[in-house]
Amino acid sequence: MWSYIARRMLLMIPTLLGIMFVSFVIVQFAPGGPVERVLAQLQGGDTSATSRFTGSSGGDLGPSAQPGSFSSSPVTTKYRGAQGLDPAFVESLEKQFGFDRPAHERFLKMLWDYTRFDFGRSYFRDASVLDLIAEKMPVSISLGLWMTLLSYAISIPLGISKAIRDGSRFDVWSSAVIVVGYAIPGFLFAILLIVLFAGGSFWDIFPLRGLTSDNWSTLSWPARILDYFWHLALPLAALAVGAFATTTLLTKNSFLDEIRKQYVQTARMKGLSERQVLYGHVFRNAMLILIAGFPGAFISAFFTGSLLIETIFSLDGLGLLSFESIVNRDYPVVFATLYIFGLIGLVVGLISDLTYSWVDPRIDFESRST
């Protein structure tokens, strides 16, 4: 087992390198960039990202922010909107963003910094990348954790009921509901919930934005808990509309496989009640695969589907941070989140495999890998 763990950990290195290399190459060929953003703002054409930039470092953007005489210098002609600006100013922008170096040098420096978990500072925010991620992490963790628990709380009882009543009317119509829920995009359901329950056109029951109310700090602890879940109700409903489909069907199939095994027939012949057979024998064995898959399910809920939900409900989490960073060409944040998410995903994949082996000793990854 230890040799298997060592091999998996060694394989993480080329996997991360591949992820970062492909992403870096794509960014090099993508139109626009932080320098273009600054130039566009100076020309009055874009303020989406650079409005934050002017005060982000507490200093000037370059030697001069005033347009100079037109120059056909290669420094200015390679940037759209750079005509009419002093070439020295454009060069200072390149140097400030680190684009005065060749691409391979920037890539190698980024890898060296990331191995030491030095992610630098945001281009357009007055904060380090790690501080930004730590600031947004609680929101995304809240969504991922509660969505996973809600999904399991619905999926396990529903899957067991479907397995017990396999082929019945309940099994058929519940499967239809699950398939329809799985097919509905979460962001469309979120908009429907806002229209119905958040003051859109009908009822104004739930808040539209944030995880807490403005007066949260003045509330008592019970009121704080209620306020927190009051704000989470609609985002969790939008995320969970199709999230429990896979787990429900997995629970049902796992139960059906166990029910058809010989030891179940033996337990029934011994005179045990159906409830004792199901929850004393079948449940323990059927749930192994779901228990082992919990880390992966949490990470999946943590990373997937949260971007649009966070945007729609104005939840300032990692999904919204990543989206804004991509739009604003804030490359330190983009690459840092990609690196951290990739590393977490690889580690959790290993943990999931080890959990499978722990809950079911019959699974031997060591023998399969040899």
| Predicted pLDDT of residue 62 | 39
Q: What is the pLDDT of residues 72-126, one digit of tens each?
A: 445 554 555 555 566 777 777 777 777 778 888 889 999 999 988 888 888 888 7
CB atoms within 10 A of CB 340: 18
Q: Are residues 168 and 277 in the same domain?
A: yes
- Residue 65 pLDDT greater than 60, yes or no: no
Dist CA 61 CA 55 (whole Å): 9
Q: Are residues 103 and 143 in the same domain?
A: no
Q: Are residues 94 and 104 in the same domain?
A: yes
- Residue 365 pLDDT greater than 80, yes or no: no
Both structure tokens of 179 = 């398939």
Quote the domain boundaries for residue 290.
130-327
In a domain, 224, yes or no: yes
- Residue 50 pLDDT greater than 60, yes or no: no
Rounded to the nearest 10°, the torsion over CA 330, 334, 335, 341 is 160
Both structure tokens of 343 = 């590393």
In a domain, 369, yes or no: no
Amino acid at 332: P
Q: What is the pLDDT of residues 87-99, one digit of tens each?
A: 777 777 777 777 7
Q: Are residues 317 and 224 in the same domain?
A: yes
In a domain, 346, yes or no: no
- Environment class of residue 50 by beta-carbon count within 10 Å: exposed (0-12), middle (13-18) or buried (19+)? buried
Domain count, the chain: 2
Q: What is the pLDDT of residues 336-353, one digit of tens each?
A: 988 988 888 888 878 877
Q: Are residues 218 and 244 in the same domain?
A: yes
| Predicted pLDDT of residue 59 | 39
| Predicted pLDDT of residue 84 | 56
Backbone angles phi, psi at 198, to 5 degrees: -120, 35
Q: Are residues 143 and 55 in the same domain?
A: no
If you average pLDDT over every residue of the chain, what do you get?
Answer: 78
| Predicted pLDDT of residue 60 | 41
Structure confidence at residue 261 as a pLDDT band (50, 70, 90): confident
| Predicted pLDDT of residue 324 | 83
The beta strand positions in the chain, using DSSP E, are none
Q: Are residues 262 and 157 in the same domain?
A: yes
Q: Are residues 56 and 99 in the same domain?
A: yes
Q: Are residues 207 and 281 in the same domain?
A: yes
| Predicted pLDDT of residue 49 | 42
Distances (CA, A) of 256 to 28, 173, 264, 292, 367: 52, 18, 11, 19, 28
In a domain, 366, yes or no: no
Q: Are residues 300 and 160 in the same domain?
A: yes
Asked if 129 and 121 touch (Cβ cutoff 8 Å), the reply is yes
